[in-house]
């Protein structure tokens, strides 16, 4: 049986930390769908289309990864596309509480879907999309933290 896993997130923008998690997931599962959350309430820096494009460019070296977007309840989306696993990345204890709560809630909603946690590489443990946006905005260097393609998009967006 082929196992399809969804890696959901805001990816605003995708960072090397996200890419690391996606690569490891792709080595375990037959198919990984990196799916950008369409969240109207959260004011994102990049549009869903831009976020998908950046994810596509950054992950096109991995054959069994595809990019999609979704709105509404995550478990409904996971069921709808015939996946059975939700991938989430863990950076630190601070991620754990939120992720644990979400995993339990999702299990309550959909007991057949498993949440699978992948621990980050220590070199990305402090990397988040929001810190990338903030550092870049104030002129700091985000080289090595995001792929070159994303760096160019950040330049176009903020300068």
CB count in 10 Å sphere of residue 59: 21
Active site residue 69: no
Identify the residue whose tokens are 């990984």.
32
Distance CA 83, CA 11 (A): 20
Which residue has the CB atom at the shortest distance from ligand ADP? Answer: 17
94 is a catalytic site residue:
no
Residue with tokens 């339990």: 104
Interface residue with ligand ADP, options 35, 84, 106, 129 (CB under 6 A): 129
Residue selected from 17, 52, 67, 147 as contacting ligand ADP according to rule CB under 6 A: 17
- Candidates 3-11, 74-82, 105-113, 148-156 — which segment interacts with ligand ADP by CB under 6 A? 3-11
Considering only residues 6, 11, 31, 48, which one is a binding residue for ligand ADP as defined by CB under 6 A?
Answer: 11
89 touches 115 (CB < 8 A): no
Tokens 């999609």 locate to 68
Residues annotated as catalytic are 18, 42, 91, 129
């Amino acid at each position: 049986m082929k196992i399809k896993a969804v890696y959901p997130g805001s990816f605003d923008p995708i960072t090397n930390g996200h890419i690391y998690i996606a690569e490891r997931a792709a080595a375990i599962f037959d198919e990984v769908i990196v799916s950008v959350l369409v969240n109207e309430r959260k004011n994102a820096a990049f549009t869903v289309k831009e976020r998908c494009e950046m994810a596509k460019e950054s992950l096109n070296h991995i054959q069994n990864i595809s990019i999609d977007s979704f709105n509404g309840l995550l478990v409904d989306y996971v069921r709808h596309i015939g996946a059975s696993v939700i991938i989430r990345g863990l950076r630190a204890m601070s991620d754990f509480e939120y992720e644990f709560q979400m995993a339990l809630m999702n299990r309550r909603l959909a007991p057949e879907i498993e949440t699978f946690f992948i621990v980050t590489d220590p070199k990305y443990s402090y990397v988040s999309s929001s810190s990338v946006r903030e550092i870049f905005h104030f002129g700091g260097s985000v080289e090595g933290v995001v792929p070159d393609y994303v760096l160019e998009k950040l330049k176009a967006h903020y300068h």
